[in-house]
Amino acid sequence: MPVVALKVDVDTDRGTREGIPALTSLLEEFSAPASFLFSLGPDNTGKAIRRVFRPGFFQKVSRTSVVQMYGIRTLLNGTLLPAPHIGRRHADLMRGVRDRGFEVGIHCYDHFNWQDHLFKMTLDEVRAEFGKAIAEFERIFGCKPTTAGAPGWQASAGSKQVYDEAELLYASATRGQSPFFPRIKGRTFKTVEIPSTLPTFDELLGRPEYPDEKIVQHYVDLLRDDQPNVFTLHAEIEGMMKLPLFRDLMKAWSDKGVTFVRMDDLAHDLLSERESVPVRDLVMAEIDGRSGTVATEAA
User: How many domains does the chain divide into?
Assistant: 1
Give the separation between CA 210 and CA 22, rounded to whole angstroms.
Answer: 25
Give the separation between CA 58 and CA 273, rounded to whole angstroms.
Answer: 44
Q: Answer whether residue 80 shows pLDDT above 90.
A: no
Give the separation between CA 74 and CA 271, rounded to whole angstroms.
Answer: 39
Q: Answer whether residue 79 shows pLDDT above 80.
A: no
* Residues spanned by the domain of 90: 3-297
Q: Answer whether residue 55 shows pLDDT above 60.
A: no
Q: Answer whether residue 63 shows pLDDT above 50.
A: no
Task: Find the CATH number of the domain harbouring 86.
Answer: 3.20.20.370
Which pLDDT value is given to residue 29? 98
Amino acid at 114: W
Which pLDDT value is given to residue 264? 98
- Give Cα separations from 137 to 130, 146, 272 (angstroms): 10, 11, 27
pLDDT tens digits, one per residue of 114-140: 999 999 999 999 999 999 999 999 999
Q: Are 149 and 172 in contact (CB under 8 A)?
A: yes
